[in-house]
Homo-oligomer: A and B are copies of this chain.
Amino acid sequence: MASGMAITLDELVKRFGGEVVGDGAHAVGSLAPLDKAGSAQLAFLANQKYLPQVETTRAGAVLISPADLEKVTNRAGSNFIVTPNPYAYFARVAQAFIDLATPKAKPGVHPSAYVDPDAKVAASAVIGPHVTVEAGAVIGERVKLDAGVVVGRGVKLGDDVHLYPNVTVYHGCKFGARVIVHAGAVIGADGFGFAPDFVGEGDARTGSWVKIPQVGAVDIADDVEIGANTTIDRGAMADTVIEECVKIDNLVQIGHNCRIGAYTVIAGCAGIAGSTNIGKHCMIGGAVGIAGHVTLADYVIVTAQSGVSKSLLKPGMYTSAFPAVPHGDWNKSAAIMRNLDKLRDRIKSLETALADTAKRGDTSGDE
C-alpha cells in the first residue's frame, strides 16, 4: 500500500483531526497492522485484544483512542495520534494514501465515447472509453464514468459521482453527490408490474399479462454506494428513493417504489420487493428477503437469510433462518417438523388421559 511519499503526523492531524502524542515531525508513508508495521508506517488500535501489541509495535505511530492510550504504560519512543475513532481515522488516511498512489485520470471525453449534443457534461468530468451519455443528461463536476457506462435521457448526476464500468442508468434517474456505483449495476429498469387480462379457467384460459408502464424514476441521495450487478427498479408512478449514505452490497434487488432510509446497510444477495419502506440505520443481512408493501422501523436488524413477510415496527434484531447441520440429523427433525400437529395432538390426549387416570386414582384411594 506504498504511496510513494510520506506525511508527517502534524500534517495528518492538520488534515484529519486528532492530537499528536510524541514526535509530530515523524513521517509515515503507508499503513500496516500493529504487528507488521515499521517506523515509516501508521498502525491503529480498534480492538482491545491487540492492546499489548501497542507496547511492542515498531510502527512509526499508532492511531489510538484517549481511553486506550491511558492503558499504555510504556510509551518510550512511541508516537500516537489520539482520536475517538481510530478505525474510521485509519480508513480516511488509507483513502488519502490511495488517492496519492492512483494515477489521476485526465478530465475530458474519451474519443470513443458518445455524448449526445443535448447533454451537459462538466469540464472536470472524466468520460471513459465507449461511454454513452444520452440527450438531456447533466453530468456534474469531477464525475467519473468508466468504460462502457450508459447514462440515459435526462439523468442528473451530482458532483464527484463515480460509475464503474458497464453500469446502466435508465432515463430520468437522479443521483446526489459522491454516489459510487460498482460495475454492472442497473439503476432504473422497469419495476415488475403486469395487469392480468385473462378470461376462463384451466386449459380454457385465454388472454395475457398487460405491462403496467413504470413512469417513476430512481432518486439516489448523497454518499450512497451501490454494489456490483445490483438492480434498483424505477417507480411505477412515484420514484424509488434511496436516502443519504445508504450502503448496498452486490447482487441486491430493490423493487419499484421502495424507500430505503438514510444510513441503512444492505448486504449481498438481499431482495426487497416493491413498495416497501425501510427505516433509517437498519442493517439487512445477506440474502435476506423482504416482502412488498411492508414497513421496517428505524434501527431494525434482520439477520442473514431471514425472510420478512410482515412489517417490523419495533427496532431490534429479527431472524428466521436455521444454521446447517449434518444432513441426516436435519432430515430427522424436518420429518417431525412436517407433522408437528400430530405431536401436539398426542400431548393433548396424554393430558386428558392423565387427568382421568388421576381422577380414578383418587377414587381408588378413597376406598
Contact = CB atoms under 8 A, between A and B. Distances in A.
Interface in A226-269: 227-229, 231, 233, 237, 245, 247, 249-251, 253, 255, 263, 265, 267-269
Contacts of A215: 1, 94, 98
Chain A's interface size range is 35 or more
A333 B341 contact: yes
A204 B265 CA distance: 19
A71 B350 CA distance: 56
A126 to B, nearest CB: 13
Nearest to A152: B165
A362 B211 CA distance: 74
Q: Most chain-B Cβ atoms within 10 A of its Cβ — which of A98, A194, A205, A306?
A: A306
B354 A350 contact: yes
Interface string A192-236: 101111100011010011111101000000010101110101000
Contacts of A338: 325, 329, 333
Contacts of A324: 302-303, 306-309, 312, 318-320
Tallying the copies of this chain within the complex gives: 3
Interface in A42-62: none
A178 to B, nearest CB: 10
Interface stretch (A5-13, A20-28, A72-80, A285-293): A285-293
A360 interface: yes
A327 interface: yes
Nearest to A367: B367
A322 B307 contact: yes
Given A92-B210, A135-B103, A192-B247, A336 B344 contact: yes
5 contacts: A209-B247, A209-B265, A231-B268, A316-B327, A317-B327
Contact of A289 (B227, B305, B308, B360): B305
Given A309-B323, A354-B350, A263 B91 contact: no
A41 interface: no
Interface of A: 1, 85, 87-88, 90-92, 94-95, 98, 103, 110, 112, 114, 128-130, 132, 135, 146-148, 150, 152-153, 164-166, 168, 170, 182-184, 186, 189-190, 192, 194-198, 202-203, 205, 208-213, 215, 223, 225, 227-229, 231, 233, 237, 245, 247, 249-251, 253, 255, 263, 265, 267-269, 271, 273, 281, 286-287, 289, 291, 298-299, 302-310, 312, 316-327, 329-334, 336-341, 343-344, 346-347, 350-351, 353-354, 357-358, 360-365, 367
